[in-house]
Amino acid sequence: MNVKIIFEDEFFLVIDKASGVVVNRAESQKAETLEDWAAGKFIVHRLDKDTSGLLLIAKTQEVLDNLQGQFKSRTVVKKYLALVHGVVEPSEGSINAPIERSPFNRMHFGVFPGGREAETGYKVLSHAGLDPASIQIDSGLRRNDKVYTLLELTPRTGRTHQIRVHMKYINHPVVSDPIYGGRKNIQADLKFCPRLFLHATYLKINHPKTSEILEFNSPLPPDLQQVIDQLQ
């Protein structure tokens, strides 16, 4: 497996996970996983198979405990880029909606009363790759008769599929989401975006030994940047 390493020292490393790479081993997973590649090390958090971007790997149990403690105390800052359906308004906000495993399909998650607290902040970056002020929403820049919004998303909790579930909940599903995007959307989306448009672009942590504040960035990978370019 060819893994792009963004940062490495004697305590941990930061990688840029490619879309399609599975993080954790499972009985149903026959191909090599990131956990296989990182044998002897510890995956600190997870990204969905189809999500690309920054991921932390600890080299010792002590470092793992420290970094996971930072996640638990919510001092870690994670930001994602996502292209979603429709015009998201207002241009900045927060989605607070509890998430739980679906009683109808145990592989899926959703917003349900009594679920676990979940909060996602968002900020509109552009509409289909253009500055929001440069387009008329009524006529819009359209593809498949839709306008798309590029968002920066900041999950303040770490629930499974949180961003994808929250975007579906506010009726702005992530482009090419095979689970939460809807059957009609996914058929149209895959014609111009071959995979889930969700990328972990930014990560801020405290170094597990020195407590120095560290920031890591990963720009949109070429396949997703090409989607934006096509929509301009």
Greatest Cα pair distance in the chain: 56
Residue of 48, 50, 177, 189 marked catalytic = 48
Strand 198-206 relative to strand 77-85, pairing? antiparallel
**How far is the C-alpha of 93 from the C-alpha of 89, rounded, in Å?**
8
65 is catalytic: no
DSSP letter at 51 equals -
Tokens of 78: 């994670």
Cβ–Cβ < 8 Å for 121, 149: no
Note the pLDDT of residue 47: 96
Residues 6+ apart with CB under 8 A from 228: 83, 128, 129, 150, 220
CB 43 within 8 A of CB 21: no
Q: What is the pLDDT of residues 132-157, one digit of tens each?
A: 454 444 444 444 447 899 999 999 99
Residue matched to tokens 């090599």: 32
Q: Is the pLDDT of residue 27 over 70?
A: no
Residue of 112 and 133 predicted with greater confidence = 112
End-to-end CA distance of the chain: 34
Per-residue pLDDT tens digits for 155-178: 999 999 999 999 999 999 999 999
Question: Which tens digit of pLDDT belongs to each residue from 50-96?
Answer: 999 999 999 999 999 999 999 999 999 999 999 999 999 999 999 99
131, 123 contact by CB (below 8 A): no
In CATH, the number for domain 4-231 is 3.30.2350.10
Domain segments of the chain: what residues? 4-231
How far is residue 121's CA from residue 91's CA, in Å, rounded to a whole number? Answer: 11
What's the pLDDT score for residue 139?
40
pLDDT at position 25 is: 78
Q: pLDDT tens, 203-227?
A: 999 999 999 999 999 999 999 999 9
Mean pLDDT of 185-189: 89
Q: Each residue of 148-171: b (16+ CB within 10 Å) or e?
A: bbbbbbbbbeebebbbbbbbbbbe
